[in-house]
Amino acid sequence: MSKKTTAIIIESKNDYLIGVKKNQSILYHAIESIIGDRNKQSSWYMTIEKNRGRSELRSIIVSNSIETISKDWVGLQQIISVHRMVKEKGKVSAETAYFISSRNGNAFLYEQGVRSHWEIENSLHWVKDVTLKEDASKIKRGNAPQNLSTLRNIGINIFRKNNYKCIAQAIRLVANDINKLGQLLL
């Protein structure tokens, strides 16, 4: 996301929570430095979960200390760090993600929001890539990739609206049954 995007979001009277990638090096390093200073942390929350043989520790830190960040990030109120440590099958992995927000919230609020976003992102992208093989598509020119992505989204939404939890199974059930497919559209 760009600085122009934050201005458009704020002008439309909405709020944003935007992930910051390493390729935004000035912003990324500023957030890293601020979050690393305990005196600049305004809110902190941690969760530990265990399910399906996987343990996950998630800590969220929020800071209101945005003085050193460019004013070009219109509406910026807080910065957020989400650190995840996962242990699964004896292997430990860790990642830290940074976000900027135009809202004033606490770490618990952001934990819920970021987690919901990740669940949606992961479930949609996983289905589109693994089940519908979107990343393997050879169609790369013009508007065709976006058009096909939209059609895939429509198909996924139709199946989910009809209470199919597994998209691959839903495709197998209706692939050769035009009547069944037509019923899903009603």
Q: Residue 95 pLDDT > 80, yes or no?
A: yes
DSSP helix/strand/coil, 183: helix
In a domain, 9, yes or no: yes
In a domain, 20, yes or no: yes
Q: What is the mean pLDDT of residues 96-119?
A: 84
pLDDT in tens, 7-34: 999 999 999 988 899 999 999 999 999 9
In a domain, 10, yes or no: yes
Spatial distance between the Cα atoms of 61 and 54, rounded to a whole number of angstroms: 23
In a domain, 90, yes or no: yes
In a domain, 169, yes or no: no
Q: For the full predicted model, state whether its pTM sits above 0.75.
A: no
In a domain, 7, yes or no: yes
In a domain, 43, yes or no: yes
Between 52 and 99, whose confidence is greater? 99
In a domain, 139, yes or no: no
User: 18, 3 in Cβ contact below 8 A?
Assistant: no
DSSP helix/strand/coil, 97: strand
Per this entry, what is the length of the chain?
186
| Mean per-residue pLDDT over the chain, rounded | 88
By residue range, what is the domain housing residue 23? 3-104
Instruction: Tally the domains of the chain.
Output: 1
Q: Residue 106 pLDDT > 90, yes or no?
A: yes
Q: Which amino acid is at 108?
A: F
Spatial distance between the Cα atoms of 7 and 13, rounded to a whole number of angstroms: 10
The band of 49, judged by pLDDT with boundaries at 50, 70 and 90, is: confident
Q: Which amino acid is at 118?
A: W
